[in-house]
Every structure is written in structure tokens, then in C-alpha cells.
Amino acid sequence: MDSSHTGAGFAPRPLLALVDRLGPCPHAHQWSRYLPAGVLKMKGATAAAMVSLASQKDADLLTRSRGRLSTGSTTCSSPVEHPLVEAWPAPSEHPIAGRVWALSQEQEGCRLVQDALDAAGSNEAREALACELHGHVPKAMRSPHANYVLQKCIATMEPDSFQFIVDELVSRRGLVVHCAKHRYGCRIIQQLLKHARPSQLDWLVDVFLEDL
């Protein structure tokens, strides 16, 4: 679901998020061998080169951060800070602020929310976006689009920050079992098994067994 968008202003974000995931040592990831050489070179690219790949909307943000981008070093001696992430707007100023839940229910909108979570510069920024999902977990886990947003929350946020997902699943009798059996909900359970704390999983398992 993290595919690129054709709309102006959003096309570069999945690529930039992928480059950021490579970290300071791109070749340490086995999957990096399947990436085009140009993507790996972006880790040592200048801000001007990055701007040439970005849309005009994001280009201004990159230009303002030009001085913070490492230029010319392709070694893994120190991390290369991502200018877009570092200069990301405050949560209240984010383009999708106030529309997270509505966008999450749409095919294209859910991609925008996932991209925003990937590109957010801190766990606090992700929390500010995810708070708009509070109270919607039961519906989101059944949605063919919003379920991907819940998965992204679990994969990118600290366990305490996605506790609201666990709370809403266990708050309604039988919902954990239903979620585990649902074609989309089962993906939420899979992500929780990967990223949740043991105490969170213990609670889910206890409720699951009670509801069987």
C-alpha cells in the first residue's frame, strides 16, 4: 500500500521514506541489493539532487533544509539525516491533520496517511496523527483500506502509543476473536504479534481464550 502517488506533492514521499529506512549503512540490509543503484546513491546525494526528484510542494521544504543534508560522503561512519523528516511541520500544521480518519477509509487516502506516518520525524508526531483514529479501531480493522493504517501505526509507533488499538479490541466482548478470523482484522493481530509488548500480548491472549 506504500505505492507512489500521482498527485502533486505526494509522489516523492514513499521513495524518500524508503531511502530513510536504509539508515546509515544501506548495504547492511539484504533487501537493498534489489534496489536500483540510483536509490542507494541518494544516501550521499546533495540536497539539489533530492529536490530534482521531489515535487514542487516538497522542494521548498528540502531547500530550506539544504544545510543539514550530508553531501559527498557515501561511507557509513555517521547517519545521514533526512531533511524532509527533520523539517516536517508541526502535527497541527500537517496537511492531513483533522482528516486522518476520513482519509484512512479511502483507497488513495489511506496511502497518504501511511506515508505521513512513515515520514513523521518523531513518535510524538505519529501519535498526533494516530489520535484521530481513537474510537474507530473496530471499524478500521474491518476496512479494506483503514486496516493498512492500523498496521502502519503498530509497525512505526512505540507500543505505548498504539495501546489504544489493544484497548479497543479487548473492550468489546468477542471482538478479539472476530478480529483474528476476519480477512483484514487478522493482519492487525499479525502486526501486534510482531511489535506488541509481552504484557499487551498476554492481555490479548487472555481475552481471546475467554471469548472462545
Q: What is the pLDDT of residues 154-179, one digit of tens each?
A: 999 999 999 999 999 999 999 999 99
Q: Are 39 and 19 in contact (CB under 8 A)?
A: yes
CA–CA gap between residue 166 and residue 159 (Å, rounded): 10
CA–CA gap between residue 207 and residue 44 (Å, rounded): 49
Check the CA dihedral 120-145-153-190 and report its sign: negative
Identity of residue 21: R
Check whether 3 has a pLDDT greater than 60. Answer: no
CA–CA gap between residue 148 and residue 157 (Å, rounded): 14
**How would residue 92 be classed by pLDDT, with cut points 50, 70 and 90?**
low
Q: Reduce the DSSP state of residue 101 to 3 states and report it.
A: helix
Range of lowest pLDDT (2-6, 11-15, 130-134, 172-176): 2-6
pLDDT at 51: 36
As given in the structure block, the three cell numbers for residue 171 are 473492550
**How would residue 21 be classed by pLDDT, with cut points 50, 70 and 90?**
low
DSSP H stretches of helix in 10-145: 13-21, 37-41, 47-53, 56-64, 83-86, 100-104, 107-119, 123-130, 137-140
Query: Phi and psi for 33 in degrees, rounded to 5?
Result: -65, -20
Percent of the chain residues past pLDDT 70, beyond the cut: 56
Percent of the chain residues past pLDDT 90, beyond the cut: 54
What average pLDDT score do residues 128-144 get?
Answer: 97
More confident residue, 208 or 16: 208
More confident residue, 184 or 27: 184
pLDDT at 94: 80
Residue with cell 508541526: 90
pLDDT at 100: 97
31-70 pLDDT per residue, tens: 555 566 665 555 544 333 443 443 444 444 444 444 443 4
How many other C-beta atoms can be found within 10 angstroms of the C-beta atom of residue 69? 20
Q: For residue 208, what is the DSSP state?
A: H
Check whether 183 has a pLDDT greater than 80. Answer: yes
**How would residue 88 be classed by pLDDT, with cut points 50, 70 and 90?**
low
**How would residue 212 be classed by pLDDT, with cut points 50, 70 and 90?**
confident
Identity of residue 42: M
pLDDT at 78: 36
Residue with cell 530513510: 20
